[in-house]
Amino acid sequence: AAIYEHQGYDLAIIKVNGVSGECPILQFGDLEGVAHRANVVQLGYILGSQFALNLDPSVSPGSVIRPANQNGMMGSQDVVYSAAARHGASGSAVMFDDKVIGVLYSMSTNSQVAYARSSTTVHMALKNWLHPNDAAITTEKMIELVVKPLNDSELDD
């Protein structure tokens, strides 16, 4: 179920039922140092059908085509990369080194070119939703603010 959805950015924070234990929040990085042809990895969980989530991670290596493509849509910024993306992989993290630099939202019809909202766009979307008082708040802290109260409140369900 979606906890937060921003249709303009085509991003959502979702809750997955049936996952137990604490899951670490991946660290986000900026696009500095991410050059054309830099190696990236798309890491996510493929939706097998509308009712079945594959809990084994999908790993797809690729390379950056354009590290900071201005999309124009609400000031969003995309990372364009080549990878063997699959339908059902939307929401996968695009990793450079050990940081998330984007979140997959679309791919070309031949599945060889993928588009991810940049970590900068994810940060902007969360700030627009949460309106934090701290101007220097990190993406990870905003995700924690969203997820932690839900975990605590659902213990009695």
pLDDT average, residue stretch 67-88: 76
- Phi and psi at residue 143, in whole multiples of 5°? -65, -40
Three-state DSSP class for residue 106: strand
Average pLDDT over residues 52-76: 75
Q: Which residue has the higher pLDDT, 146 or 65?
A: 65
User: Using one digit for the tens of pLDDT, what is the confidence trace for 95-143?
Assistant: 999 999 999 988 887 768 899 999 998 998 888 888 888 889 999 888 8
DSSP 34-93: --TT-EEEEEE--B-SSS-B--SPEEEEEEEEEEEEE--GGG-EEEEEEE---TT-TTPE
Q: How far is residue 48's CA from residue 96's CA, in Å, rounded to a whole number?
A: 26
Distance in angstroms (rounded) separating the CA atoms of residues 138 and 79:
20
pLDDT digits (tens, 9 = 90+) for 1-25: 567 777 777 777 776 666 666 667 7
| 43 or 152, higher pLDDT | 43
Would the pLDDT of 156 be above 50? no
d(CA 38, CA 36): 6
Letter for the amino acid at 106?
S
The residue range of the domain holding 135 is 2-153
pLDDT in tens, 80-91: 999 876 667 788
In this structure, what CATH number is given to the domain that contains residue 99? 2.40.10.10
How many domains are there within the chain? Answer: 1
Which bin fits 141, alpha (ψ -120 to 50), beta or left (φ > 0)?
Answer: alpha
Measured CA to CA, the distance from residue 122 to residue 9 in angstroms comes to: 8
Per-residue pLDDT band for 28 (boundaries 50, 70, 90) equals: very high
pLDDT bin (cut points 50, 70, 90) of residue 148 is low
